[in-house]
Amino acid sequence: MDRDHGIEEDYKNEQAYHNSLSAVPRPSEGLVPRFFKGMDCPDPYTADVVYIDVTTGREVMRYDGADPANTRFDYGAKPDSECLANLGYDIKEMIEPGKAVVSHAECAKRMRYDIGYLEDF
């Protein structure tokens, strides 16, 4: 397997993983994701991907989601899991709900959306 194909697979797997996460505790595990992933879109030209650590309430990573260098493996992008690992975080970390200082709903409220722009779709 060549390197680019491996990165593409990592990216697809990572996106599938994040899409499967729920913002509510999983009853069988009683855990929630430590990192909230959101999109900050204050205008039609800005689409930042934002990660917030719910144990601190702080933003730990942000990148331009419209820049191919950040989102496409064939332009040199790396999976979010690798970027967060370089910062010392594990994207798949789960925590007990009581350890969160902000909820996923509160994190989502921080994201800005240009409603007029979204209505065009």
pTM over 0.75: no
Q: What is the pLDDT of residues 10-63, one digit of tens each?
A: 555 655 555 555 444 455 568 889 999 998 888 878 889 999 999 999 999 999
Domain ranges (residues) in the chain? 3-119
Around Cβ 23, how many Cβ atoms within 10 Å? Answer: 12
